[in-house]
Amino acid sequence: MLLVDTNILIDYLRQKSEAIAFVNHFGKGNLALSPIVIMEVFQGVLNKADFNRTQKALNGFAVLDLDTSVAQLAMQLQQHYVLSHQLSIPDAFIAATALIYNIELRTYNLKDFRFIPGIRLSDQLS
């Protein structure tokens, strides 16, 4: 199981060939999403048709729970790294999800997470 960051999911929704190949290779059931990622994607929806297309495209991905342990770790990460690395609240939740579930995070934005101890990251889609 891999955790997919927002930027890769957006490329998938935009039908970018590398992101489509990534999803097809691993299969939606082996790729996990944080509810935060889903919320970030829907923040960019422009109209009802886009909403419906996005909702349909997200079917089949595993969605991980934002439980108390994820929330508590996200708070700790954000408080610890907000000044030194400007860690955003969404990224704190995404990082905490990867750490709590002990899964690798696939993201194009390694710089947003690489300072977090113990997090496993990759920007490779192949």
Cα–Cα dist 22/66, whole Å: 25
Say whether 11 counts as a known binding-site residue.
no
Residue 40: Cβ-neighbour burial (10 angstroms; 0-12, 13-18, 19+): middle
Q: Is 112 annotated as a binding residue?
A: no
**Token couple for 5:** 């960051």
Task: Determine the Cα–Cα distance for residues 118 and 77; give it in Å rounded to an integer.
Answer: 12
Nearest to 37 by CA among 91, 112, 106: 91
Annotated binding residues for Mg(2+): 5, 91
Annotated binding residues: 5, 91
